[in-house]
Structure 1
Amino acid sequence: MSHETLALTELEAIARRALCQSGVDLPAAEATCAALMAAERAGIASHGFARLPYYLDQLDSGKLNPRAVPTLTQRGAVVNVNADSGLAFPAVQRGLDRGMVLAQEFGVVAVAIGDSHHFGMAGYYAEQAARQGLVCIALSNGPAAMAPWGGNVPLYGTTPIAFASPRASDEPLVIDLSLSEVARGKIMLASQKKEAIPSGWAIDRDGNPTCDADAALAGSMAPAGGAKGAALALMVELLTAGLTGSHYGFQASSFFNVEGGAPHIAQLLLLLNPAFFSAGYVQHTEMLFSAMLAQPNVRLPGERRQATARQNSSSLSLPASLLEQLRFRAG
């Protein structure tokens, strides 16, 4: 597969124009591009610009509302955002921005986003909060891709979870993971490249382990940690779709085609201000990090992605076929 290297500014301009051509207003396009760029720079291509053609198709078909206007309501330390069946990025960013301000007043804030869509790399939002001195947990449900433990019919999404914590002089600690053995986007990429997937990533529709990416997509993702991962996925469904009245995974339409109505999924951001709990949180956590790093072969979660992002500070190499699509859509 041939690749082409572009300056970040040029890549962002192409993506922004493509979104605007599909009816998205400039602020929403900018919020979307910022999130996709963060994933791409971090080396998480499955959550980067490879997603954009799917978003554009859904915007053009009306499955996604191109003119969505997210609405925000606040009750004490709880913020509810309705994404209006549009792109998730502007809605989640608006809720996060409000939540970070409120955390200075209330100490603990919950931001729930309903009637939403795919929100990209969960750690993108958690890390923003950590850079403001806050501890953050970010959760999302998604279209069914993972069966309950013991079953073979997907009911839960792959339910990404991110956690971020501020540090004194270094990059924030960022844990970003999926409760499936791997992110579904990785299997999507393997399918597109006609590549096999490792054993243990998924089961086929009959409940048998498979290394065939297409069979995996038609079957079920394997939960990380077996029954424990499946139980945590249930918890995320309840904390997102359950709290907001949005669609559970088994009710949500696909992120990857134009069939059906909007997915109507949900996200939850929990923001904690350490100053409301005890003095010296950052210094105290460094004791644990130092003990970890004193052992050979240990690194902190998120360090590799942050190093990759620094390396990709001026340009990125993307598949030429993807860039051809985006340029065509940009007009």
Structure 2
Amino acid sequence: MTDRAAMVAEWEAHLALGQRRSPHTVRAYTAAAGRLLAGRTIEDWHAAATLDAAGLRSHLAARRQEGLGNASAARELSAIKAFIRFAQGKAGFETKSAPRIRGPRVKKGLPRPVTPDDAANLADGVADLGADSWIGARDRAVLLLLYGAGLRIAEALALTGADVPLGETVSVTGKGSKQRIVPVLPVVREAVDAYIRKCPFPPERDRPIFRGEKGGPLNAGMVRKAMAQVRDLLGLPASATPHALRHSFATHLLGAGTDLRSLQELLGHASLGSTQIYTKVDAATLLDSYRNAHPRERD
């Protein structure tokens, strides 16, 4: 029989070493599993694997009585479901499925854009921190595709040798296999060209142009890691992620007068409602600028 401390330790090792999750995620998911095991009569992997929806609701209700908010409760539920699926694997279950239980409704927050100067500094910063010059050029090119063309990180990493050299536009396949044409700024083209020249792996028509250190396709996690290092050096908040660069692209275009329909096409949103959130972002940015500039706000 496996005791609870050993179960939590094995779960932690799986997250950190097996899945290479971030330290923050490892801490949060490990703590959630520890609370679940401590609050119930679960002594082995089979008991954890067979926890039903009623037991899960009971645990979450107790947590809510402790003052857990909607967002935290949703994260707790996600962590516990992942732990239960892991337990099912340890118990030898062929089909892994956590109990069906709907989490609390969480209000979607506004994206937090970075300034144009911060976006440029982030791109230049990853170039300076690259282990080799070609890796720095690679990371800079990826970030400029996110900010300069509004691509999702997966869309940037999916570009192949057939797409280079980039022209004034590039065809991108987004969510739902929906294709769109995106304009490419000269600075973005130059950054991608510079990376291609330095990369030790020649571009191949049917393979991604962005390569990892050993030549395989570049993992998005490596881009996030590089940006996090530069973000810390620049003193930027944790919200300054690669996806925030896409938000910034949209917010800055809207602020410059781009209409919502055009912005929807550029971003590849299926519905206009997804794009309309940027009107709130722009209003929030304008309000921040007002508060920082108005003499009454500084008194």
TM-score, normalised to structure 2, is 0.25
Larger RCO (CA within 8 A; separation ≥ 6): 1
TM-score, normalised to structure 1, is 0.23
Q: Which has more helix, going by share of residues? A: 2
Q: Which has more strand, going by share of residues? A: 1
